[in-house]
Structure 1
Amino acid sequence: MTNKISYQGEAGSNSNIACTERFPDMEAVPCASFEDAFAMVENGEADLAMIPIENSIAGRVADIHVLLPESDLQIVGEHYLRIRFDLLGIPGSSIESATEVHSHIHALGQCRRMIREHQLTPIIAGDTAGSAREIRDWNDPRKLSLAPPMAAELYGLEVLSTGVEDDPTNMTRFVVLARKQALPIRAQLPEDVITTLVFQVRNVPSALYKALGGFATNGVNLTRMESYMVGSTFAATTFMVDIEGHPEDLPVRLALDELDFFTWEVKVLGTYAASEHRHKMTAEFV
């Protein structure tokens, strides 16, 4: 055991915050790319990886739906992070004298009102925390950063405005990845369980309807479904879905049997305890 957890991004990023929230006793290791974060776990350099999979505003995180099924990793947990952004500048700077704001493209898109209000020019950076580091290095009061609260202290920047995101309910769902292993048996998990799987259907009429019919007839709830094309022929579609339940549960077992009949391939990416945040979300809409 290394007691390390890898993530994509720089120190102070939202992925870094997610690691420290969920696993405060583990060493969070930054990686330049998702592939590098995956590789650290696959090579045994880290025990876990914390990977964002979807955002309540921006939707799914690009590339993960392709990388995850092809990796030697599986999902062993999930974590929800409330996304917050502060406006940062070098000491002595001010919003009034600034002309540019730098951050990840998603962060810029989630803080449009503030950017428009102060007539700042948005500049895309590779990472939210990375933009804070660049602002420190440039030492230019005309350039500001949109970054998570942790970044200000890490990079010695001044907080010019807090909570500048447009939507206070902005949330990102992360999945926790580990090296592939046998799925935990039902008795090892709590009652509320999520199973993530991918399957491929033919590009013919009613293919998806027939594939999903088993979930409906057996009362299995789907909480998420994403689709994407496979290869260059545009002749087959792969779906990634989250369902409530364990493969050992009778309704899930029957649904998966039907799914297998109408698809080319079904691959379970992980079965894991549902986050407490799901209960809060469900209570709000009941």
Structure 2
Amino acid sequence: MKRITIQGVAGCYHETAARGFFGDEPIEVLPCATFEELFARLEADPELLGAAAIENTIAGSLLPNHELLRRSRLRIVGEYKLRISHMLAALPGQSLDDIREVRSHPIALMQCTDFLQTRPAMTVVERDDTAGSAREIALERTAGTAAICSADAAALYGLDILARSIETNPHNFTRFLILADAAQAAEFADPAHTDKASLLFTLPHTQGSLSKVLTLLSFYGINLTKIQSLPIVGREWEYRFYVDVTFDDLARYRQAVAAARPLTSEFRILGEYAAYPNPTL
């Protein structure tokens, strides 16, 4: 049985994504309190896999996770895109009018601003995890308090859902990366279905250096789906670029990579894998 480490407690969105990626295959999920702990566990145990959020359609990129990935030397072996639908959940027998406090992760609270503004009597309290908020209420038997969490978390901890899909924007999706040690990554390699890659590179501090790389990718028919820049600490006005690309021809993609390397100061392939289709509402 595969072992997957996630950030968050049982019932969190990371667990939903991990189980969704592996489908009917049984997995053992190992929770971590933080992303730093998650990456440290992956480094310490080469047989362990990981699922880590990397971007959200509303909150944007999780920039610290880009840096953790860069430092880890792990490989991306897959991705999973999950529709994030938030529930307001409380102990059985509670009603909306009973709730005076709402607990959840800051991003989840931010994503439910419109709903919360219609309930000014509810005090917002930040917690480290959505599912952790649900577990806390269940364990403490805290009346008058609700969690913003997933339907899975509400069911797992025996809470009633008082309001469904309370996120302000329904186009709320999170992209998760499936991570593995470089040696184990070979088990996931499937050239017949590989049509996406995540790349990391730095460029010389010269005029037009980024434009040259992007033009080259376009020449080889490579589609740029994401570009994220982060400053290089200690090197003013120099940046690392995290790039996601998709392609129809694996051979042409490899030609593009070979041609791009000489134009960069540093070039790494973070992972080559099958693109996950965009989910629908």
Tell me whether the two structures share a fold, i.e. TM-score over 0.5: yes
| 1:91 match: secondary structure | coil
| CA shift for structure 1 position 149 | 0.7
Q: Is 1:91 aligned with 2:92?
A: yes
Name the amino acid aligned to 1:28.
Answer: V
| 2:63 match: secondary structure | coil
Partner of 1:105: 106
| CA shift for structure 1 position 262 | 2.2
The whole-number CA distance in structure 2 between the counterparts of 1:255 and 1:263 is 13
Q: What is the aligned residue count? A: 277
Partner of 1:165: 167
Name the amino acid aligned to 1:115.
Answer: L
Partner of 1:17: 16
Partner of 1:49: 50
Partner of 2:199: 197
| CA shift for structure 1 position 263 | 1.4
Name the amino acid aligned to 2:77.
Answer: V
Q: Is 1:7 aligned with 2:6?
A: yes
Mapped contact 1:40–1:46 kept (Cα < 8 A): no
| CA shift for structure 1 position 52 | 0.8
Q: Is 1:222 aligned with 2:224?
A: yes
Per-residue CA distance 1:119-154 (angstroms, 9 max, x = gap): 223221101011112222443323211001111122
The whole-number CA distance in structure 1 between the counterparts of 2:3 and 2:185 is 22
Partner of 2:274: 273
Q: 2:182 aligns with which of 180, 186, 191?
A: 180
Per-residue CA distance 1:21-69 (angstroms, 9 max, x = gap): 2224111111111122223333227531111111111111231110112
Q: Which moved more, 1:204-213 or 1:157-166?
A: 204-213
Mapped contact 1:94–1:141 kept (Cα < 8 A): no
The whole-number CA distance in structure 2 between the counterparts of 1:203 and 1:99 is 54
Mapped contact 2:194–2:250 kept (Cα < 8 A): no
The whole-number CA distance in structure 2 between the counterparts of 1:133 and 1:183 is 34
Give the TM-score taking structure 2 as reference length. 0.90
The whole-number CA distance in structure 1 between the counterparts of 2:170 and 2:16 is 17
Mapped contact 1:202–1:237 kept (Cα < 8 A): no
Partner of 1:116: 117
Mapped contact 2:222–2:246 kept (Cα < 8 A): yes
Mapped contact 1:195–1:246 kept (Cα < 8 A): no
| 2:183 match: secondary structure | coil
The whole-number CA distance in structure 2 between the counterparts of 1:247 and 1:193 is 8
Give the TM-score taking structure 1 as reference length. 0.88
5+ long unaligned stretches in structure 1: none
| 1:63 match: secondary structure | helix
| 2:107 match: secondary structure | helix
5+ long unaligned stretches in structure 2: none
Name the CA shift for 1:46/1:134 in 2 (closer, same or farther; >3 Å): farther
Name the amino acid aligned to 2:5.
Answer: S
The whole-number CA distance in structure 1 between the counterparts of 2:141 and 2:63 is 32
Partner of 1:66: 67
The whole-number CA distance in structure 1 between the counterparts of 2:125 and 2:88 is 14
Structure 1: 4+ residue segments shifted above 4 A: 182-185
| 2:97 match: secondary structure | coil
The whole-number CA distance in structure 1 between the counterparts of 2:240 and 2:171 is 30
Alignment RMSD: 2.4
Identity of aligned residues (%): 34
